[in-house]
Amino acid sequence: MPAMDRPADWGPADLIDLDRYPILDPDSPRGAALIAEIRARMAETVLCALPGFLKPEVMPRLVAEAEALVPLAYRGPAEASPYFYNYGTGLDALPAGHPRRRKSPRRLSQIASDLVPEGALIRRLYEWPPLATFLARALNVPALYRCADRFQGLNISVMEEGGCQQWHFDTNESNITLLMQAAEQGGEFEYVPLIRSAEDENYDAVRRVLDGDSNRVVRLAQEPGMLVLFRGHHSIHRVAPCRGKRRRLQSILAFNTHPGVMGSHESNLLHYGPRVALFPREPAARQAAD
């Protein structure tokens, strides 16, 4: 019986449609064309979606594994600003409607990295060295390392009916996500490419987006098995409200260009709950920006 017929034997390479995405052969003509295409998309639009990256036949098992972990998900803050909580300094001096003071609903739970078991397919994929090698080539960086933070490395975001994520900027430069299960309706990923820069926060444009101006908003309808590479540090983005009974399940694969990156203790408490305080704080080679 071939390996693909025995789910218990599936390894990371069995999950990926390697005919369509020859990530193990980046120097072949097709592999090089794939890398070039991703780099071009990222440069043009800060996002590259790879539909069908995972084979349709493996999705039911990934979903079943994620569903089994849903009771462990932590709800986190019910509202947040586009800049999360890193906005305390001088906040009171800002006018009431300033984007740094604006909070909007955040309705999602997250399964922390340490709660995703070693044998789960999504963890085996995340920890598979060829994936990091491929992503580093695709993002045109010398190397990528899995996030060293106990809680942040691999997350599964869970959205029930009405679930959403507020407009926000990422603290990380790049973000890799893999949709496991879509909501029945809604739950689209929406973003405004490069609305701010290192030199200019462009608060007027951010305020317009928060006020509902969709002029510059780009929408991505994700489908299960789609891998999305996104640069969200300068591009505000959100997940639109989910509708219907089927929950939206998405994994977030955190990689950094340096080894040993940890999240902040305060951020972990906020997003993963009070149990975070039970663990010893580990020394960080580097601290994430949040």
Binding segment (CB under 5 A) for Fe ion, from list 139-147, 225-233, 239-247, 252-260: 225-233
SS3 for 205-246, per residue? Answer: HHHHHHCCCCCCCEEECCCCCCEEEECCCCCEEEECCEECCC
Closest to Fe ion by CB, 10 or 230: 230
Q: How far is the CB of 249 from Fe ion (least distance, A)?
A: 16
Structure tokens at 84: 């999360």
Closest to Fe ion by CB, 232 or 241: 232
Taking the C-alpha atoms of residue 183 and residue 255, their distance in angstroms, rounded to an integer, is 26
Q: How far is the CB of 167 from Fe ion (least distance, A)?
A: 10
CA distances, 105 to each of 27, 36, 81, 163, 271 (Å)? 45, 38, 9, 9, 14
Q: How far is the CB of 130 from Fe ion (least distance, A)?
A: 25
Q: How far is the CB of 18 from Fe ion (least distance, A)?
A: 28
Q: How far is the CB of 175 from Fe ion (least distance, A)?
A: 6
Closest to Fe ion by CB, 110 or 181: 110
Closest to Fe ion by CB, 82 or 232: 232
Q: How far is the CB of 170 from Fe ion (least distance, A)?
A: 4
Q: How far is the CB of 213 from Fe ion (least distance, A)?
A: 20
Binding mask 88-107 for Fe ion (x = CB under 5 A): --------------------
**Interface size with Fe ion, residues (CB under 5 A):** 2
Taking the C-alpha atoms of residue 141 and residue 123, their distance in angstroms, rounded to an integer, is 23
- Per-residue burial over 249-278, b = 16 or more CB atoms within 10 Å of its CB, e = otherwise: bbbbbbbbbeeebbbbbebbebbbbeebee
Closest to Fe ion by CB, 121 or 239: 239
Q: Restricting to residues 142-171, which ones interact with Fe ion according to CB under 5 A?
A: 170
Q: Does 65 bind Fe ion (CB under 5 A)?
A: no
CA distances, 93 to each of 90, 96, 97, 151, 226 (Å)? 5, 9, 12, 34, 43
Taking the C-alpha atoms of residue 183 and residue 159, their distance in angstroms, rounded to an integer, is 8
Closest to Fe ion by CB, 15 or 205: 205
Q: How far is the CB of 238 from Fe ion (least distance, A)?
A: 8
Q: Residue 230 contacts by C-beta under 8 Å, 6 or more apart in sequence?
A: 46, 47, 48, 174, 175, 176, 177, 191, 237
Closest to Fe ion by CB, 146 or 234: 234
Q: Restricting to residues 231-250, which ones interact with Fe ion according to CB under 5 A?
A: 232
Taking the C-alpha atoms of residue 110 and residue 101, their distance in angstroms, rounded to an integer, is 24
Closest to Fe ion by CB, 21 or 74: 74
Which residues sit at the interface with Fe ion, rule CB under 5 A? 170, 232
